[in-house]
Amino acid sequence: MRIFIINLANRADRRESAARQLAGTGLDYEFFRAIEAPGALAQHFEGRDDRISMIELQRAGTPSEVACYASHRALWKICAELNQPIVILEDDFAATKDFRPAIDFAASHIDACGFIRLEAMQRRRRTDETNKPVEVLRSAEFTLYFETAVSIRATGYALGPATAKRFIGASRKFTVPVDHFLQQVWLHQSPMFALVPPAIGLTELAEDSSILGRKTGRRNFFSHHLLRQVRKLYQAWTKRAARRTNEKIMREYAHLFTGKRET
């Protein structure tokens, strides 16, 4: 699979970090020049709708979040045009000792899965039997899980062309940051799988985020108080929508949910 690393032109430190980590893997990769905020919305989306972002995040998406999403979306289009699976990495990844075998494993299964997360799944404080990850396949080195409650983050993943096309079709307008979009399975209708142990983590460079305003964006009085009830209703609706979608996905992908050990 071709590996694309999203990198801003002025972040040579991150290019050097990525190149240093992949130098001994024997894998080919290329840097994809990250789309920058000016013009990102007009050139890569059919406008924006901040209503969902105001409910989910209690703020509108920042220009940097729009640009980050646009970079991922541009690579989804490349994947669809190539009609081949690819790997997408953000440049603050930290390759684990399992990186090369994980890429090989993902390459073997991406045609069947469509999307395989390469970073660790996130643990949730409130977990019940309906949103625990489901084991799909186990090999000597890795276990593949179906995420019934999708992790947030989009640092690294393998992507197939059919899934890329679904992502493109469901993301014509900017509504929420890209990692939140991936959680909206009821919208893009794509199963989300994850690999354990993960192939990547985050370097210390991740502390110096390129997505400006994500942590410092202010939440105004209106969004914090008056939208509280709307947010509760929305969260209840999305939980039901995700559950229905997951049930549909598990029926459609029943051949994967065998629990058999890979030979």
Residue 87 within any structural domain of the chain: yes
Residue 165 within any structural domain of the chain: yes
Query: Average pLDDT for residues 196-202, to the nearest whole number?
Result: 94
Q: Number of folded domains in the chain? A: 1
Which amino acid is present at 257?
A: F
In this predicted structure, what is the pLDDT of residue 149?
92
Which amino acid is present at 120?
A: A
Q: Where are the alpha helices (DSSP H) in 23-154?
A: 40-44, 51-56, 63-82, 99-113
Measure the CA dihedral 162/165/166/167, to 10°: 120
Residue 106 within any structural domain of the chain: yes
Half-sphere exposure of residue 121: CA atoms within 13 angstroms, side-chain side: 23
Whole-model pTM: value is: 0.89
For residue 211, give the CATH number of its domain: 3.90.550
Q: What confidence tier does 216 reach under pLDDT thresholds 50, 70, 90?
A: very low
In this predicted structure, what is the pLDDT of residue 229?
82
User: In this predicted model, which residue has the larger pLDDT, 75 or 152?
Assistant: 75
Residue 263 within any structural domain of the chain: no
Q: 151, 25 in Cβ contact below 8 A?
A: no
Length of the chain (residues): 263
| Tens of pLDDT, residues 138-192 | 999 999 999 999 999 999 999 999 999 999 999 999 999 999 999 999 999 999 9
In the chain, DSSP assigns E strands to 2-7, 29-33, 86-90, 93-95, 115-117, 134-138, 143-146, 156-159, 193-196, 200-202
Residue 258 within any structural domain of the chain: no
In this predicted structure, what is the pLDDT of residue 116?
98
Q: What confidence tier does 202 reach under pLDDT thresholds 50, 70, 90?
A: confident
Residue 260 within any structural domain of the chain: no
- Compute CA distances 135 → 119, 131, 202, whole Å: 16, 12, 24
Residue 133 within any structural domain of the chain: yes
Residues 131 and 141: their CA atoms lie apart, in Å, by: 25
The percentage of the chain sitting over the pLDDT mark of 70, rounded to a whole number, equals 86
Pairing status of strand 143-146 against strand 115-117: unpaired
Distance separating the N- and C-terminal Cα atoms of the chain: 22
**Cα 234 to the chain's mean position, in Å?**
22
Tokens of 116: 């395989």
Residue 51 within any structural domain of the chain: yes
Domain boundaries, position 39: 2-252
